[in-house]
Amino acid sequence: MTTSEITVIGAGIIGISSALALQSCGHAVTVLDREGVGAGASSGNAGAFAFTDIVPLATPGIMREAPKWLLDPSGPLSVPPAYALKIAPWMLRFWRASWRDRYARSMAAQSSLMALSRAALERQVKGVDGEALMQREGQLQLYEGEAEFRASLPTWQLREAHGIRFELLQSPEAIAEIQPGLDRRFTHAGFTPDWLNTCDPAAWLRHLADRFVALGGRIEQAEVTALAQEGARVRLTTGSGAHAADRVVVAAGAWSHHLARTLGDRLPLETERGYNTTLPAGAFDLRTHLTFGGHGFVVSRINGGVRVGGAVELGGLRLPPNYKRARVLLDKAAEFLPGLKTSGGTRWMGFRPSMPDSLPVIGAAPRADRVIYAFGHGHLGLTQAAGTAELVRDLVRRGIPEINPAPFAPTRF
């Protein structure tokens, strides 16, 4: 089998998964990252493989909520006033993505990537002996009252149409059979039994990285500042000098668009700043992943402890963290889970790279066909990493991808 030298920029879950997939085809792969393995959102997320989340963030009518985002800095989706003007062009694309025809196309594409990613994850888990790091405990999507539940039914019908298994629960007693200890305000829920989590996203990523290195891969700390395709090679400019590779995969998360610009591509990547607090073991007897959709946060089990996090703050890379958001989420969790012990927690904020249509960018750079983009997964990076890696592998070896890659092409903008 012929080999080629490939450099992957980014040692998060997308970059390491892509490196492993390329390595499995016989390629010699080096991963470069400015901070090291899992320094960003890949380690601090909720640990959920959210394959049932096929509904884009830009839903029809969502822009009617926009004024509230500016007025409620602690709400489930907010835009800091200091960032409102800068994000306006992205918000315009976000609004266009919410039109019903575009929304439907985005959902169909998301569903196809989720189906591929679910199957790819199982292949990945088996290939790296990773089952010990998985939690197959399902998920509860919780609703406060009949009205909120009824409003959610169209999304459950869409999930059914896309082959997603679920059970709808319509009493606190039915919910308590799966997860005791919830406040009785949550009268309805949808349970998705095929949902799974990793017991620790940081440990899962380290496991993948260790396997990659054990098989001969290299991971180096270096900040790549520019790319240039020169014939059949790609030149990478770093703080320590110039490097070259036959091919390059850009999987640098929220910083990826800066590298794309050096190739002449201006892609509308923004940053979902996510917040969480991780409580120690014994904080709560959590038996399944909990999603409080009406409040924009989740509660998941991490290493026997509890992680409370979520919300979307569209605030870019430079504004200081607003940890009041983490405090608000933790206070709500304590209200919704009366037995939750909230002391001894560790706060975190991470940057999640987000495109206005909720779909990642996966495809060759328009002006440099030896560069593959793989970024913009929003809060679904962990979920879609294995599927993205297989698409990257197929693009590099010019094979026929299992799903249509056109909806994810960088040229769609």
Kindly state the tokens that stand for 404: 């249509």
pLDDT at 3: 39
Q: Express each pLDDT in 160-172 by its tens digit.
A: 998 899 999 999 9
Over range 385-391, report the average pLDDT: 98
* Centroid of chain to Cα 292: 18
231: phi then psi, degrees, rounded to nearest 5? 70, -125
Per-residue tokens: 94: 């976000």
CA distance 364 to 375: 12
384 φ/ψ angles, rounded to the nearest 5 degrees: -100, 10
pLDDT-above-70 percentage for the chain:
97
Amino acid at 2: T
User: Are the CB atoms for 353 and 271 separated by under 8 Å?
Assistant: yes
Q: CB–CB of 282/46 below 8 Å?
A: no
Q: Are 117 and 108 in contact (CB under 8 A)?
A: no
Beta strands 77-78; 305-314: pairing state: parallel
4: confidence class by pLDDT, cuts 50, 70, 90: low
What's this model's pTM, rounded to 2 decimal places?
Answer: 0.94
Examine the pLDDT at 1 and tell me if it is beyond 60: no
Give percent of the chain above pLDDT 90.
77
- Tell me how far apart the alpha carbons of residues 325 and 21 are, in angstroms, rounded to a whole number: 37
3-state percent helix, strand, coil for the chain, nearest multiple of 5: 40, 30, 35
Per-residue pLDDT at 30 = 96
**pLDDT for 228-287, tens place per residue?**
999 999 999 998 888 899 999 999 999 999 999 999 999 999 998 989 999 999 999 999
Q: Look at the block and give the residue holding tokens 């970024």.
A: 375
* Distance in angstroms (rounded) separating the CA atoms of residues 171 and 190: 11
Residue 325: CB atoms within 10 Å: 27
Q: What is the pLDDT of residue 71?
A: 63
- Give the count of beta carbons closer than 10 Å to the beta carbon of residue 326: 25
For 56-106, what is each residue's pLDDT tens digit?
888 888 777 767 666 676 677 788 888 988 999 999 999 999 898 888 899
Lowest-confidence region among 74-78, 85-89, 290-294, 302-306: 74-78
Map tokens 């994000």 to a residue.
Answer: 87
- Mind listing the domains of the chain with CATH numbers? 5-43+202-268+359-412 (3.50.50.60), 52-100+133-198+269-354 (3.30.9.10)
Burial of 22 (0-12, 13-18, 19+ CB in 10 A): buried
Residue 391 vs residue 56, higher pLDDT: 391
What residues are paired with 78 via a beta bridge?
A: 313
76: number of Cβ within 10 Å = 21
How confident is the model over 299-320, as a mean pLDDT? 92
C-alpha span between 291 and 333 (Å, rounded) = 11
Please write the tens of the pLDDT for every residue from 147-206: 999 999 999 998 999 889 999 999 999 999 999 999 999 999 999 999 999 999 999 999
Q: What are phi and psi of 34, to 5 degrees?
A: -70, -20
